[in-house]
């Protein structure tokens, strides 16, 4: 299986378990890895035989900037489902959602959840 990576996507959204997160919003970062057979596109140089990276970004953006949810896990599930629904060529999808500024005291880079889902 081959992989396409779309990483470091940044959004400002209103997700979180606390009311102030839903009101004030915060930065979010999303990475996706799309498992697929890239050979047909690679040998033909045909965009129709692969995944358009701009379309991937737009699908992730639609989830991130839509209805607020409480859990990072929920965002991951919704993004993975959207990608598998939107791109038939994708067999496997890994989604990592990072929250760099959660309301948790202490020193750290971010909190994150990563999931992998396969087409059933």
pLDDT at residue 102 in the model: 86
Catalytic residue among 39, 49, 61, 99: 99
Low-confidence ranges of the chain (pLDDT < 50): none
Res 83: pLDDT: 98
SS3 letters across the chain? CEEEEEEEEEEEECCCCCHHHHHHCEEEEEEEEEEECCHHHHHHCCHHHCCCHHHHHHHHHHHHCCCCCCCHHHHHHHHHHHHHHHCCCCCEEEEEEEECCCCCCCCCCCEEEEEEEECC
Domains and CATH numbers, the chain: 2-118 (3.30.1130.10)
39 is known as an active-site residue:
no
Query: pLDDT by residue (tens digit) across 5-29?
Result: 999 999 999 999 999 999 999 999 9
Asked if residues 26 and 18 have their Cβ atoms less than 8 Å apart, the reply is no
Cβ burial of 99 (10 Å; 0-12, 13-18, 19+) is buried
Q: What is the pLDDT of residue 101?
A: 86
Q: What pLDDT is recorded for position 11?
A: 98
């Amino acid at each position: 299986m081959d992989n396409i990576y779309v990483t470091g996507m940044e959004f400002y959204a209103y997700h979180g378990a606390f009311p102030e997160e839903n009101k004030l919003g915060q930065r979010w970062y999303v990475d996706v890895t799309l498992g697929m057979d890239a050979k047909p596109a690679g040998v033909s140089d045909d965009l129709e035989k692969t995944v358009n990276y701009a379309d991937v970004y737009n699908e992730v953006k639609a989830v991130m900037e839509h209805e607020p949810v409480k859990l990072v896990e929920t965002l991951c599930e919704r993004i993975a489902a959207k990608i598998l629904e939107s791109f038939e060529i994708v067999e496997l999808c890994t989604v990592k959602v990072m929250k760099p500024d959660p309301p948790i005291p202490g020193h750290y880079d971010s909190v994150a959840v990563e999931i992998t889902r396969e087409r059933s």
